[in-house]
Structure 1
Amino acid sequence: MGFFDGLFGFIVGTKGREMEAEAACEPISGLSSIATSVVHRCARILGMQTEKLVQLFEIELPDNANEPEKYARNLLVYSSYKALHEETKRIDYLSEKEFRILTYDIMLAWETPNAEADSSNKERNDNIKREVEEEEADSLFISSATKNAIQVDGKQTVSSEAFARIAPACPILADPITINNLFESLTSYCGGRLHFLIYDKYIKYLDKVVKAVKTTAPHAASLNLSKGEIILDVDGVSATNSVFQHIGTSTRPGRLTLTNRAIYFEPLGVGFSYGKPMCYDLEKDLKQVVKRECTGPWGARLFDKAVMYKSSFLAEPVFIEFPQFKGQTRRDYWFAIIKEILHAHKFIRKFNLSGLKKAEILSQATLGVFRYRALKEGFHIMPSQVKSTLSFYLAEKLPKGDKILDALYNHLETLFTGSESKPQPGLGSGPFPPAICAIQRLGFGLSDKDVEFSFYGLNIDGGPSSLELAVRRSASYSGRAEAARATLEQVKMEDIDTNVAVLKELLFPLMQIGELMLSLVEWEDPFKSHVFLFLFLFLINRGWLRFVIPFIFLFCAVFMLWNKHHRKGQPIEAFQVSPPRHKSTVEQLLTLQETISKLEMGIQEGNITLLKLRAILFAAFPQTTNKVAITLVVVAVLFVLLPFKDILLLILLEEYTRKMPLRRESSEKLVRRLREWWGRIPAAPVQLMKRQDSRR
């Protein structure tokens, strides 16, 4: 019955808003019916006449009032910001349906603020409703709740532009950095437009999250939290949702708590009581590392369901496991919110923030976790399904994300210019009140004193702020990166033989050049080898060898530009590769074993070479040491007396002419003598020490 009640309430609320819009409230010149209704309601919230509110707008923002094409929308935004600032002073405003209806109607009015928009809006709504009726020919109560609601009233949807302009006026609802990702998450099943049922459900779950956090106050006493430290989430309180901590080979179940400053783990004791909590600090600069990790019994890496925390304060890393029958949603959720708090404190340390500025950043991170919890609990949305809605975690992952953080710092500096308790009107770069004020109004305290920011009308005409511009630029780069990552999945091959075949085809031009150089060095065709030798000597003698690498780069650049001019944006042709013969599983295992054996032999040969050099260096064999020392002295004198160009010329001549007919026999004798000399040198001894395992 819950869905039918919600649907009935939505219908009643919709019709009530329509009746109110068409009621006997006096029309405002230039405003649409719904915009007029919203302005009248804002005036009642502010306790003044509508005419007085319009006069204040024209007095405080004369430039915006004098633009006829923007007058209606600017008046609507001005009235809405002032009313929402007053509405959010009540501690339980999220639980009031009037607040949810008002904010949603403001978004609807923002899309159609002008009087001329009424007729075009009616035609658009009829088209939307007709399309929905054609797509949904079944019974009203068979399809999903969202589609049913659209069937009942298809016109009640909001675009991303309206949501991005109005929602950040209440920091608990949205954040400018992640506003687009939040909208995509909410509208992922409703065709890219936000319906009231979805919006209403989102705020209801936000309210539930805030109330759930407040109920953890008794739990905070056992953790000895510092002033301003807020519990964000708790896990492991029931047997069905247990949490395990792995340190070395020891494993203990317990209760996990995340605050805006640290991670706490309370091991489970006798009689369902908890022991002394272990605190893993996220605030101080301890070179913390948090990443996804595999874990299992006795340190075995079996299950990919853990979060690893490591810092310079700990002797060994801590693994926190979140058992789950299927998937890793619990682990991914905790990993994301822990990273959000960790990156928020990195931002604070990077810009050396303190006082209210530090509290403001922690408030933004706290509100971000609240929104993330609401999406998870209400819509079961996880980072693997959509883009992240956590600001600092997202900024660290996005290309040009550091520019977003720089813009956020500049916004913070502008916000607190002059006085830390009252920003100067007109100096900010966004229309929303600070997050610390929103946190305090929800019943939490992050600072040593109460903060009350007065409303200031900034960015009222909807122009993008510096922070919004940084987010847009990062999003454009992110789109290119996602498109590039999509191509990677298409070219990944499954077995090693196919990958080797692709690699050989890609390196075919270089392999051809290598074979040509090898044939020249082997003097298979004396004429070509002589020509190449004289050409090489000429380049070195004239000093032109240093131009070879720049010439290669220049040739590549010209080749790329030529292809760009002639291809004219056409997609590149597929690279054709002949796949190798398919091998059975047994053959693949044998190939893998052979490859590992060759790798092991190569490592052994490398160790033997190093041990022989160690024996020579420490004069373990005096006769050999004398010869090597004299040779090194002669080489050192040559490097001092001869120019480097001549030394390079001699080395290249020695290597290139070693197999020419005139020197072949003498060179082979020299190589044989060197090989025999190297074989007579024994390796330095090696002793393996028994490893002392200090793990518990």
Structure 2
Amino acid sequence: MNMVSGGSEGANGGWPTGLHGSAAQGGVSCKDSVFYGLCYYGRILNTPVEDLVAEFEEEWKPGNNDYSRKLVEFCSSKALSIICSNLQENIVNGSFSRLTFDFMLAWERPTSADEESYSESVAKEREDKKVVAEGSQVDDDIPLFYSDIMPLLVSSEPSIGEDSFVWLGSVVPFVCDVCNGRFTFEALTASTANRLHFPAYDRFITEVHKCSKYLQNQERPKGIIFADDEYILHMDGTATTQRVIRHIGGASWPGRLTLTNYALYFETSGIIAYEDALKIDLSKDIDHSVRPASTGPWGAPLFDKAIIYESSQLKESMVLEFPEMTSSTRRDLWLTLMKEVILLHQFLQIHKIESQIQAWETHARTILGILRLHAAREMLRISSPVPTSFLIFSLFADLPKGDFVLEELANSLKQVNSINPCSPSFILRQLNMENPSVSSTAVRRGIEESVDDKSDTLSSLESTIQQVREEAKEVSAAKATVEGLKEEGISDSILVLMCTWQHREWIGKAIAAFLVWTVGKMIKEKQESSRDKCTKIVVCSGSDQTPMETIVSAQHGLKTAQAMVQTANITMLKIRSILVARSPKVLDAFVNSWLLSSPILFSFPRHLIQRYDTHG
């Protein structure tokens, strides 16, 4: 079926341009102005408008609210099942991005009242911007939107918000995943006031498709046979990318590093070709340890751009360095991707997801998340996004109560028993990344679940994600405060001490008493001839360490001392915050515990403690 081209559709509001009032031509009563764009869906589905409305109202419950939006969801879901059946062609010709953007606009503003409210807010925002522009030029140094080749956006163009973006991800996980869609949207719209415009959205979709093609064309590691459902997720150290160095003792070996959804492969560079790859299986149920590290000449930790991997399948730890001129974004990316693959397989093992369809659905969601991460990094080259914003398991492993979200995700995956054109596994199949053992599964040509059933399935997951997200913001703000106090708290405390110091009369007397006591101690030692007790002084010779090793040891000692001072400073600040009731909840907990323990300690027989000490 040929897709409808939408070059100018959706430019003036929720429904595509030129289709307002088209439903009335078919004899359908216009309820709350929602039928203005039904012909748009009718053309895609090749279905009369009356049949679409009748089919929707058969499943619609009269007591439910938001008739307009539910109708948009119903029509969009049916249309997307057809669009995704030929996904790759629709991405290449641009119809996928245009149509899905129009669907999001329609979902965000399904009625004429919503459209009028949006127009008023846009006009007010435009006036506010004019006032700010006339007053000052504070924002002159803000970098261009995404990159220098991205078209400059004008404020009159339509844009979508976070809720519509997440809704589309719940229907088509190619755009985003419902689990981390809000985090993805924040990363994509950080420089555009949390609004996503079509040029950026279109480029994002195009980059995801390009990244999938790029990874499929990469050469497989030498001497390795991939599993049927194993695909390359990231590669570095090739002729067209930056170097990767493996450190073994005092030796360093450059090579090519490849990550798949099952393992990590390192191929040492030879004179002519690469040597056989070293395989590190990340899917095994063993203790995997991946952490950042610092490397440098003679073992000096000068450059914080390395990764250390440790597990029982290796005799010694594997150190990989990712050289960069300035930051350590390459290292951070590899570290996050390796953790994501490890956590993926741990998730499957912990929740006992053994069905091939369910396991491949989980793999597909992870692979699509990594593709979206690569696409976003290509778009946001000026300021690379945080990798975890596009991944599932790495994100919720670090968030408070993130395990609740993963539990909800596991429950939803266990309900999957077949694939449909909008499922993650079918989307990968359209991108030529399929699992042969699952590809023969019958694909449902359409979304059989009603709109209500779909929303009921996602409501629990969405509420849990929202709760975790709010708590994550609070924790992030608290951590930022603590990190600032680590450096600033020491100097601030000294300044406060100097400003609030009050001289007391007894201080001079105390110093005089200390001097008199010291003199008396010295006279006593002189009378007892203590100087004859130590006739020989032994001076220890220097250590066997080289000068470089001594410098490294001193550096480690300095870092340890600094960390101890910072920890002590934070501890004192926490104690002070409790004493001055800065945190009422914590103060109440301490007061209650102390009040309960005081009578117990007061009335507890002392002879029992002495008897216990004697027998112990």
**TM-score between the two structures when normalised by the length of structure 2:** 0.72
- Counterpart residue number, 2:192: 190
- Counterpart residue number, 1:448: 437
* Closer, same or farther: CA 81–559 of 1 in aligned 2, 3 Å: same
Distance in 1 separating the partners of 2:478 and 2:143: 37
How far off its partner does 1:23 sit? 8.0
How far off its partner does 1:317 sit? 0.7
- Counterpart residue number, 2:74: 78
2:171 aligned to which of 169, 172, 182: 169
Residue 347 in structure 1 maps to residue 347 in structure 2: yes
- Counterpart residue number, 1:457: 449
- Counterpart residue number, 1:335: 335
Please tell me whether the aligned partners of residues 232 and 369 of structure 1 are also in contact (alpha carbons under 8 angstroms).
Answer: yes
- Counterpart residue number, 2:11: 14
What does the per-residue CA deviation read over 1:294-336, in whole Å, with 9 as the maximum and x for residues that have no partner?
1234544221111211110101111111111111111111111
* Closer, same or farther: CA 387–358 of 1 in aligned 2, 3 Å: closer
Please tell me whether the aligned partners of residues 10 and 197 of structure 1 are also in contact (alpha carbons under 8 angstroms).
Answer: no
Please tell me whether the aligned partners of residues 42 and 49 of structure 2 are also in contact (alpha carbons under 8 angstroms).
Answer: yes
1:467 aligned to which of 443, 461, 468: 461
Q: Which ranges in structure 1 are unaligned for 5 or more consecutive residues? A: 1-8, 424-431, 504-555, 569-641, 652-696
How far off its partner does 1:15 sit? 7.2
SS of the residue 1:172 aligns to: coil
* Closer, same or farther: CA 199–264 of 1 in aligned 2, 3 Å: same
Distance in 2 separating the partners of 1:239 and 1:97: 29
Please tell me whether the aligned partners of residues 235 and 259 of structure 2 are also in contact (alpha carbons under 8 angstroms).
Answer: yes
- Counterpart residue number, 2:51: 52
How far off its partner does 1:477 sit? 1.9
Distance in 2 separating the partners of 1:260 and 1:167: 22
- Counterpart residue number, 1:234: 235
CA RMSD of aligned residues (A): 3.9
2:471 aligned to which of 452, 455, 477: 477
SS of the residue 2:256 aligns to: strand
Distance in 2 separating the partners of 1:445 and 1:170: 17
- Counterpart residue number, 1:201: 203
Q: Which ranges in structure 2 are unaligned for 5 or more consecutive residues? A: 1-5, 498-575, 589-605
Please tell me whether the aligned partners of residues 41 and 76 of structure 2 are also in contact (alpha carbons under 8 angstroms).
Answer: yes
For 1:397, the aligned partner's letter is D
For 2:44, the aligned partner's letter is I
Please tell me whether the aligned partners of residues 282 and 341 of structure 1 are also in contact (alpha carbons under 8 angstroms).
Answer: yes
Higher mean C-alpha displacement, 350-359 vs 281-290: 350-359
- Kindly tell me the number of residue pairs found equivalent between the two proteins: 497
- Counterpart residue number, 2:426: 437
How far off its partner does 1:388 sit? 2.4
How far off its partner does 1:496 sit? 7.6
* Higher Rg of the two aligned structures: 1
Higher mean C-alpha displacement, 490-499 vs 386-395: 490-499
Percent pairwise identity: 29
Distance in 2 separating the partners of 1:211 and 1:38: 35
Please tell me whether the aligned partners of residues 146 and 190 of structure 1 are also in contact (alpha carbons under 8 angstroms).
Answer: no
What does the per-residue CA deviation read over 1:514-564, in whole Å, with 9 as the maximum and x for residues that have no partner?
xxxxxxxxxxxxxxxxxxxxxxxxxxxxxxxxxxxxxxxxxx9x9999995
Distance in 2 separating the partners of 1:311 and 1:255: 21
* Closer, same or farther: CA 133–382 of 1 in aligned 2, 3 Å: closer
Distance in 2 separating the partners of 1:480 and 1:487: 11
- Counterpart residue number, 2:97: 100
How far off its partner does 1:241 sit? 0.9
How far off its partner does 1:440 sit? 1.4
- Counterpart residue number, 2:109: 112
SS of the residue 2:207 aligns to: helix
- Counterpart residue number, 1:662: none
Distance in 2 separating the partners of 1:482 and 1:495: 19
* Closer, same or farther: CA 323–55 of 1 in aligned 2, 3 Å: same
Distance in 1 separating the partners of 2:472 and 2:222: 43
Residue 378 in structure 1 maps to residue 379 in structure 2: yes
- Counterpart residue number, 1:309: 309
How far off its partner does 1:82 sit? 1.2
Distance in 2 separating the partners of 1:230 and 1:352: 23
Distance in 2 separating the partners of 1:307 and 1:562: 40
Distance in 2 separating the partners of 1:124 and 1:495: 43
Distance in 2 separating the partners of 1:10 and 1:106: 14
How far off its partner does 1:277 sit? 0.6
* Closer, same or farther: CA 456–307 of 1 in aligned 2, 3 Å: farther
For 1:372, the aligned partner's letter is L
How far off its partner does 1:214 sit? 2.2
Distance in 2 separating the partners of 1:223 and 1:562: 59
* Closer, same or farther: CA 648–456 of 1 in aligned 2, 3 Å: same
SS of the residue 1:485 aligns to: helix
Please tell me whether the aligned partners of residues 23 and 30 of structure 2 are also in contact (alpha carbons under 8 angstroms).
Answer: no
Please tell me whether the aligned partners of residues 306 and 321 of structure 1 are also in contact (alpha carbons under 8 angstroms).
Answer: yes
2:60 aligned to which of 34, 50, 62: 62
Q: Which has the higher contact order (CA 8 A, sep 6+)?
A: 2
* Closer, same or farther: CA 488–560 of 1 in aligned 2, 3 Å: closer
- Counterpart residue number, 1:89: 85
Distance in 1 separating the partners of 2:72 and 2:375: 29
Distance in 2 separating the partners of 1:222 and 1:269: 14
